[in-house]
Chain A
Amino acid sequence: MKKIYIAAFVVSAFFFTGCADDYLDVDQTESVSTDDIELYNNDAGASQFVTSIYNKFLNWDMTSFGWIGLSSITSDDADKGSSPGDTGTDKDVLDALTYNASNPSAESTFNANYDGINRCNQALNILPKLDKASPALRARLTGEAKFLRAFMYFTLVKCYGGVPIVDHLPVPGSDSDRIMQLTRKTKAEVYAFIESDLNDAIAALPEKGAYAANERSRVSKGAAYALLAKVSLYQKNWQKVVDNCNKVTGYSIVNDYASMFRVAGKFDSETIFEIYAQGSVPAKGIEGYSNTQGARGAGGWGWGFNTPSQSLVNAYEPGDVRKNATIIFRGTTLYDGRVIPTTVENERYNYKAYSSAYTDAWETDVDIKYLRYAEVLLMKAEALNELGQTPEAIPLLNQIRKRAGLGDTPYTSQGDIRTAIWRERRVEMAFEHDRFFDLVRTGQAKAAFAIDGKVFTEGKNEVFPIPASFIKQAAGLSDQNPLY
């Protein structure tokens, strides 16, 4: 009897040892395990990973208050706005160009874009493993992820200069990946990386017509060419600008400028890359985008930040329809009949962030058109002019002016046309998050800010500070931008 017991005990102990490891593998039930790739191994599942990248653009930190501060309030088009005492955390120092290395808007924009880049890298990592999704779909999704990664690196390089290139998922504990994450690359390296991603995207993406109506916010080949043109523009690679602009086909400028920033203008013939927002329940809009820029005070609906400057008002030629399509003036009636009472705190507000149906909602139906065909025409005009083909540039410029209700440009010389195109870009694309970077790109910044009475320090203010929190993490591997 006792022998049986001992034997049973010993045997059970061995049995236990053998199986113990399997025995300890429990199923994960409170969250979806990353081991469970099969759950997403189909067309819908594969799309999810890229959808999450687009979704990032609706986030507060990616596209809203901090980004508005960095890309718009800093520029001569906009003032801080709001109540004098309400700094919006740091919008006063952004407006005055006196921000320092721990500027919250610069930090949140940096972090948000890397958050988006992680989503791109996650998608690029998993898509090859989803072998039950259609290969054509996976190829397209890969193209979308690369476009979006390029777009975010373009934002980063414009804002900060050279930044670390995280081109794959870092492995925790890996020293080379640690160095990858903490070491800034040069501006040229970042641009090369962007171009490489865009070329991959071009090869993989379909024309915009290939998308169904409910997928039209996905990027197409045209978007990739347009972005490549813009990236080339920033590198003054003029011939490449022209070549890529020429490849942006199937688009046309719409007749009514103002319509583009209303619900009716969503995905019109001019739009190339648009951040889509939905105001109806369940609302999926850019968090706080309309609200932070909405009219403030009695009769208003928002925080009143990012108000159009007097300098911008002055930039419009008489008769330019774009002025009243871009700026809400206090005491006027909007297209939908809303009267802006004189009791609101600021004289002007951003019309392009105004939602008629969901005016005071946190998430509204206001889209952002990051790339549209008018800019392609202007880029091409600018490049042709720089290449000495001024006569070819002028009709493109006039095309834009005509839509705005203006006559042909009176200028003909290369120098005059250059300035005319720059000025046209300003009024055409005001409040579309382009002006500050355009000033820096074209070297007009110092002079432009001087008119506003602000000091743009050359060699410093071309870029924003790298977040102090990152410099601390980098522990010597990365340096701060000069003079911060």
Chain B
Amino acid sequence: MKNFIFSFLALLLLPAYMSGQTIKGKVLDSSGMGVPGAVISAPQSRTSADADFDGNFTIAAKEGEMLKISMLGFEPVSLPATSGITITLKESGDTALKEVVVIGYGTRKRIDNTTSISSIKSEEITKTKVLNASQAIQGKAAGVQVISSDLPGSTPSVVIRGLGTALGGRTPLYVVDGMQTENINNINTNDITSYDILKDASALAIYGTRAANGVIIITTKKGKGDNKVSVEVESFAGVREPLKKVKMAGSNKYAYYTNAALQNTTFSQDQPVNTDWFDEITRSGSYTQNNVSVSGGSENVKYFFSLGNYEEKAILNGLGYGRTTFRNNNEYKISKKLTLNQNFSFTSTKSTPKPLGAFTNAYKQSPIVPVFFPDGKYGVPRVGANGFANETGSAFNNVGNPVAQLDFFDEQQKSMTLQGGLKLDYDILKSLKFTSQFNGEYYTWKQYNFEDTKNVWLAANPNKVASDYEKEFPNANINLLTKGREDYYNWNLANYLTYNKVFNDIHDIEVVAGIETSVKGAREKLTIKRKNVNSDANYWALKDVEYAANITSYKDEVFNEVKLASYLGRFQYKLMDKYLVTGTVRRDGSSNFGKDYRWGTFPAFGLGWVMSKEAFLADSKVISLLKLRGGWGKLGNQNVPLNRASYTSGQNGYLGGSILNEGTTINSQIDPSLSWEVTEETSVGLDFELLESKLKGTLDVYDRNTNNIILNTKPYSTSGITNVSPAHVGEVSNKGYEISLRWDDKIGEDFSYFIGGNFSNNKNELTGLKNVILSPVIGGGLGNGQDTKLLDNTTIGQPLGSFYIYDYAGFDASNGKMLYYNAAGDKVTQDALNATTDRKYVGSSMPKSNYGVSLGFNYKNFDVSVDGYGTNGAKVYNGKKAQRFAGENIEESLAVDFWTLNNVTASNPAPFNQVPVASTYYLESGDFFRINNITVGYKLPLPSESFITSCRIYVNAINPFITQKFSGFSPELNGDGNPYGTQGVELDAYPTLRSFVMGVNLKF
């Protein structure tokens, strides 16, 4: 693999002159790949040469003369010259010298790189057995915040160096083998060979207008050209369960509490039923993954095939997810100068989603309600005169039966993603390479949802019969079938030249210049709703049947296409291997914006100084590497709300020529200057390796500002325009630092170990707003008309994603009523609160810092590793608890300790029936530390001539332990991934899971 990357490096050329006879030979690495650029010198003949892309060289030297072969990253070798000699270089232990990072439109040796890039190795990605690679890297890269959910098929939020946008896209740009995309759920983690996170502006600017949220470059595996066929089989199976449960009150305590709230004795305190709704809607989850890959090749053709399957039976009843992936990556060496790389991947997924609202309903539904009444009907919250639940009593809450909710929810989604590309490298000169790369992706999705309306109603009303439904709702649907179809096609074409040359041995120059276009094709979506379909799913789509009469909604949407045209250039200069300079510029034009505002230029520069190469450190025993680097750059985010001028659709609600037609008008005002959000960043970093590279570390400090974030503004009321207009009005600052350290060592021959960790801290703040009328961003809705988050003119000085709620002031000891501080600092009840003046900003759902630790050891054939992850400074809102309406269940901790006349110092207020206002009473610390993964592996000792070359068996514990302050299920709440949505609010949230996995990895 290294050689594949090396082959991207241009040749180092040194003047060679001919004398005497010539020796031809080849330099290979330990895997049999040619080592391009290896320097061969013949001191006796005073000649030198370097190896070409395939490692071949020709040098003017005499037979038998000693040749010195050296190459960065390899141990130097000396041996006598023979014609046709093949020299195998051994890789040096000095990782900093040979390690290569992917920098976008090229690669660079880590030592020569001036920017901040975190590289995650493939074994780190596959170690934690999760579906999405970004979830697996949680805690492994400083400055990269991953908020994930264990909901099968969900996409984790990845925030690199803080949030710089409120309404725009927050997702980093993923570049998968050159394909620029926004989601990597289709990528099998086992196919990934490197995962490089570009973090600072100086690294990111080459991606211009899509770089502000960071860029993650993923490279998938390739075959080796060693004329061998390698087969790898990886299989595991695991069980999953919720990491933490919330203890609920139970029937009798529920009855006691609810009676106290109602101030009567509606509920018997000796209940015959005690339903644990959480247990009723969940089951023991399981998942399996099986992968087979075949790779190999000759010098001229290399191939890699892989087939993978992931199946999960989720903990929520009925929820399932499956994914099948296929990949084929090939490399063809067409001629000495021409190389073609082709990659192709196919992914299909199938899922049966279930509503996560069932978790909230299970939390809220009373334990006195049975799952089923004795006659087999679903339990409902009705209470009879005896104080027990029955079918005909009076309703005491509005929560549905969560088991019925899951049983009736009938949905299936299927998707297919095709990604592929061709990359052509042509060596025009030894130092000049032309690269042309095309990538495309096609996505198609289909869904059905069947709503059994009438039976849902009957289940909720066990005292009614079928004919009542027709009576009460004469024109209502019996059922409703929704079918959805969606597809899109995106493509990307880049052409660039790479020039690399060393002048006078000390001036190493690499220049990249190119053009690129990216097209995000029009997304097409069709949604049809049809009523009163056959109850048998087989007969929903019969041949030659006209369904027009039963269609209740028909939506056919084609979303706007987005095109980008770009010019890119990068200059990298290295002087005497010590002084590094990088300059980058990208000019992007985007179809998203008005003609005069669509072009933008994103420059950056970086400087580096490899201090350890200076004389004063060269002999240091302590310091093996010390590099200071820094840079500045400008980045864009084009994925922002747009305000394309449009007519309000007169086609909607058209009533012929009648005056009642809605007519057509324009109800939006366009800010023609709307363009991308621009982030500027200055950063400084230090890389070091101490004590013979046993201790490695990186330190980074950055200051990034987005000076023109887009928020929605309201036109003046006299304009009569009621739609909001996005405009550049805000400033957001992110300042932070990142530290990562790792210690590797060996004790004796059999025992090696490492311990590492990283810590990052980010201060996010809305630093300014223009004097405009903002349309506030209101979020964190609790589903009861209340919201918990706000961004408006009062938010200046607060972090994005801030909660804005009332400040709980304890309860009134005389009556147990909850009190809140008003603006004047007085304690008042919720009826006396003023929504505009009494709420406060009380912290953000985004953590201020996060950290990861990992340690591991290898002893003989055993390998053990442990990864931990934690965050600090985030707030989470206990939304399911805060939403409480009368007659709903409570937690045990509340049921056993609440205010009564005899217990005025209880920790909880008196029982109440009024829906509480959103307040700090329900806001909790989101701090947690979790062991994300423990792996224990054992490599079976195999005879050296065995058919199987390697067999490793392993067990994993994923999320085995957590310490958290939050009283709910999980403090890691990605929600909808939006800091102004349900992120950080535990409501309809999927719990974090603990998994135990056993697996085997075989190589042939």
Contact = CB atoms under 8 A, between A and B. Distances in A.
B590 to A, nearest CB: 7
Given A118-B721, A278-B660, A24 B598 contact: yes
Contacts of A175: none
B515 A16 contact: yes
A181 B650 contact: no
Interface stretch (B57-65, B164-172, B661-669): B661-669
A67 interface: no
Given A12-B495, A172-B725, A276-B659, A25 B645 contact: no
Nearest to A44: B657
Interface stretch (A107-115, A289-297, A348-356): A107-115
B954 to A, nearest CB: 49
Interface in B637-673: 644-650, 653, 655, 657-667, 669-673
A210 interface: no
A26 interface: yes
Given A2-B432, A115-B722, A172-B725, A26 B562 contact: yes
A470 interface: yes
Given A32-B646, A115-B722, A470-B717, A27 B561 contact: yes
A55 interface: yes
Given A23-B563, A31-B646, A111 B589 contact: no
A483 interface: no
Interface in A34-77: 34-35, 40, 44-45, 47-55, 58
Contacts of B647: 31-32, 34, 40
A164 B720 CA distance: 12
A21 interface: yes
B426 A284 contact: no
Given A30-B557, A172-B671, A284 B655 contact: yes
B719 A166 contact: yes
Given A24-B563, A40-B664, A172-B671, A52 B650 contact: yes
B719 A24 contact: no
Contacts of A28: 560, 644, 646
Contacts of B646: 28, 31-34
A114 B716 CA distance: 10
A122 B665 contact: yes
Given A16-B515, A27-B561, A31-B646, A55 B661 contact: yes
A49 to B, nearest CB: 6
Interface residues of B, number: 59
B618 interface: no
A111 B718 CA distance: 7
Given A16-B515, A21-B589, A31-B649, A114 B720 contact: yes
B497 interface: yes
Contacts of A58: 660
A214 interface: yes
Contacts of A13: 515, 567
Interface in B885-920: none
Nearest to A107: B717
Residue from A48, A278, A282 whose CB has the most chain B CB atoms within 10 Å: A48
A218 interface: yes
A182 interface: yes
Interface in A437-475: 467, 469-470, 472-473
Nearest to A165: B718
Interface in B563-590: 563, 565, 567, 589-590
Interface string A103-131: 00000001100111111011100000000
B591 A25 contact: yes
A29 interface: yes
Interface in A163-222: 163-164, 166, 170, 172-173, 178, 181-182, 214-215, 217-218
A243 B716 CA distance: 39
Contacts of B541: none
A9 interface: yes
Interface string B701-717: 00000000000000111
A111 B591 contact: no
Given A51-B663, A116-B720, A12 B515 contact: yes
Given A21-B589, A48-B663, A52-B665, A9 B434 contact: yes
A197 to B, nearest CB: 16
Contact of B663 (A21, A55, A117, A218): A55
Nearest to B646: A31
B262 interface: no
B717 A110 contact: yes
Contacts of B589: 20-21, 24
A29 B559 contact: yes
Contact of A473 (B560, B671, B716): B716
B663 A52 contact: yes
Residue from A51, A110, A164 whose CB has the most chain B CB atoms within 10 Å: A51
Contacts of B515: 12-13, 16
B561 A218 contact: no
Contacts of A35: 645
Contacts of B644: 28, 31, 33
A214 B671 contact: no
B773 interface: yes
A465 B230 CA distance: 82
B558 interface: yes
B428 A6 contact: yes
Contacts of B715: 172
Interface of B: 426, 428-429, 432, 434, 495, 497, 515, 517, 522, 557-563, 565, 567, 589-591, 595, 598, 644-650, 653, 655, 657-667, 669-673, 715-722, 725, 773
The 4 closest A-B pairs by CB, nearest first: A118-B720, A52-B663, A51-B663, A31-B646
Interface of A: 1-2, 5-6, 9, 12-13, 16, 20-21, 23-35, 40, 44-45, 47-55, 58, 110-111, 114-119, 121-123, 163-164, 166, 170, 172-173, 178, 181-182, 214-215, 217-218, 276-278, 282, 284, 467, 469-470, 472-473
Given A44-B657, A163-B718, A166-B720, 20 more contacts: A20-B565, A21-B598, A24-B565, A24-B589, A24-B590, A24-B591, A29-B559, A48-B650, A52-B663, A114-B719, A117-B720, A119-B663, A119-B665, A119-B720, A172-B672, A172-B725, A181-B718, A214-B659, A276-B659, A467-B717
